[in-house]
Amino acid sequence: MDLRDSYKNATRSIAGARMRSFLTMLGIIIGIAAVILLMAVGEGSKRDILGQIQGSGSGNLYLTPGAQSSILSGRNSTTRDIGAKITMDDLKAIEARVTYPIVVSPANTIGITVKRGSTTMVGSGIFGTETYFEVNNLTIESGRPIVASDVSNRTRNVVIGANVRTTLFPDVSPIGQLIRINGMSFKVVGVTASKGQSLFGNSDNAVILPLTVGEKSFGMQHDRISLTTIKSVNPNDSGAIVNQIASILERKHGKVDFSILDQKALTSLFSSTLSIFTALLAALGGLSLVVGGIGIMNIMLVSVSERTREIGIRKALGARERDILAQFLIESSLLSGIGGIIGVVFSVLVANLVIQRFLPTYVTTSSVLLAVGFSIAVGIFFGVYPARKAARLRPVEALRYE
């Protein structure tokens, strides 16, 4: 039997049971959509986060206590290095001994409640120094930044983020006004320009306080710096700077109880983590595709038993086992292939028109090819058993079937 005949037979059989064919395809459509959409969300987040790393300032190095990349866990130190810490003394040593031009910016972050009058909002309190703004590409929209004297004098002056300003001061200038942070009174001296979400949080929802105030008013140890950003003035120096800092701290601490990540390391770290995340999402989608495949197998088994007599007739007229096998395999792969194409069109539309509004999505060509290839493979794999069952029917028994 030539392929054109087989194809015609298969389309006729699929069209002959429209509702059933559609429902069978629906399993594949949903499976394909799950694979493509989940991968699009995974890929979109990956690109978004990597974009934030790129935007966080090129040539920045991140120094954290603990021998592992504690930036990822968001905690000050890993459980393994509970005693590990980076102190102001360490940072002074780094500033003194690194032979390339650098800017060092220590910071500790806690969750805070900010209140003005009857308005309250939750944000983050960043305890930093005068270098925080330069290193993090933050610009001052009005007023002034935190300056060195604020840090040395432990003044209760703060700079607020753009969202904090619009929430607490919708109609008056905040400069010189008092706000209450965790119940204590502080004076607003400046407002930062909006920057949006970045790798280490959203500076628009933050209040920046002098590093030394943390120890005085919030019971923090200012000698435990959870995240130090070190800006290399010439981005090309960063590799050499990492090595210098590492040897300075290793000599000082007597062991490697710290992590230094540069932008490249951070990119590859996030990139590989996020790729695993995307692969997991794809596997999740793949599971539903397998469920769709089982649906195809189920309906093909029904089809084989419904058409036992037809198989008998075809065999009486000279159909060989491979002719019957091909007929049912073409039918099952056509079901899954059409389902796959509908699924691709549907999910590309949904990804770009709907989900894009809430989440960063990015549909890659490889995810589309993977999904379509997998769907056809599913159609063939789950079609083999019913098709073999049909092909092996004995002609006499098939003809006798009512």
Q: Least CB distance from residue 324 to other proteins, whole Å?
A: 10
Residues making contact with other proteins (CB under 8 A): 1-2, 5, 12-13, 16, 309-310, 312-323, 394-396, 399
Q: Least CB distance from residue 385 to other proteins, whole Å?
A: 19
Q: Least CB distance from residue 16 to other proteins, whole Å?
A: 6
At 30, phi and psi to the nearest 5? -65, -40
Q: Which is nearer to other proteins, 16 or 170 (CB)?
A: 16
Q: Least CB distance from residue 400 to other proteins, whole Å?
A: 9
Q: Return the beta strands (E) in 28-101 as ranges.
A: 60-65
Q: Which is nearer to other proteins, 6 or 288 (CB)?
A: 6
Q: Which is nearer to other proteins, 171 or 402 (CB)?
A: 402
Query: For residue 182, which of 153, 149, 145, 219 has the smallest C-alpha distance?
Result: 219
Q: Least CB distance from residue 326 to other proteins, whole Å?
A: 11
Q: Which residues contact 198 (CB under 8 A, 6 or more apart)?
A: 52, 55, 56, 136
Cα(377)–Cα(394) distance, rounded to whole angstroms?
28
Query: For residue 193, which of 124, 141, 130, 123 has the smallest C-alpha distance?
Result: 141
Cα(341)–Cα(141) distance, rounded to whole angstroms?
51
Q: Which is nearer to other proteins, 264 or 394 (CB)?
A: 394
Q: Which is nearer to other proteins, 80 or 322 (CB)?
A: 322
Q: Least CB distance from residue 329 to other proteins, whole Å?
A: 16
Cα(348)–Cα(346) distance, rounded to whole angstroms?
6
Question: Exposed (0-12), middle (13-18) or buried (19+): which is 276, by Cβ within 10 Å?
Answer: exposed
Query: Residue 15: how many CB atoms within 10 A of its CB?
Result: 9
Q: Which is nearer to other proteins, 44 or 312 (CB)?
A: 312
Q: Least CB distance from residue 9 to other proteins, whole Å?
A: 9
Q: Which is nearer to other proteins, 222 or 314 (CB)?
A: 314
Cα(60)–Cα(359) distance, rounded to whole angstroms?
27
Query: What is the number of residues in the chain?
Result: 402
Q: Which is nearer to other proteins, 377 or 399 (CB)?
A: 399
Query: For residue 380, which of 288, 293, 291 has the smallest C-alpha distance?
Result: 293
Query: For residue 24, which of 345, 323, 302, 370 has the smallest C-alpha distance?
Result: 302
Q: Which long-range contacts (CB under 8 A, 24 or more apart) does 9-17 make?
A: 9/327, 9/330, 9/331, 10/327, 10/330, 10/331, 10/334, 11/334, 13/303, 13/331, 14/331, 14/334, 14/335, 14/338
Identity of the residue numbered 91: L
Q: Which is nearer to other proteins, 5 or 89 (CB)?
A: 5
Residue listed under structure tokens 């944000």: 123
Query: For residue 45, which of 202, 205, 273 has the smallest C-alpha distance?
Result: 273
Q: Are 70 and 227 in contact (CB under 8 A)?
A: no
Q: Least CB distance from residue 302 to other proteins, whole Å?
A: 17
Q: Least CB distance from residue 394 to other proteins, whole Å?
A: 7
Q: Which is nearer to other proteins, 280 or 396 (CB)?
A: 396
Q: Which is nearer to other proteins, 3 or 122 (CB)?
A: 3
Q: Least CB distance from residue 353 to other proteins, whole Å?
A: 39
At 217, phi and psi to the nearest 5? -105, -20
Q: Least CB distance from residue 301 to other proteins, whole Å?
A: 20
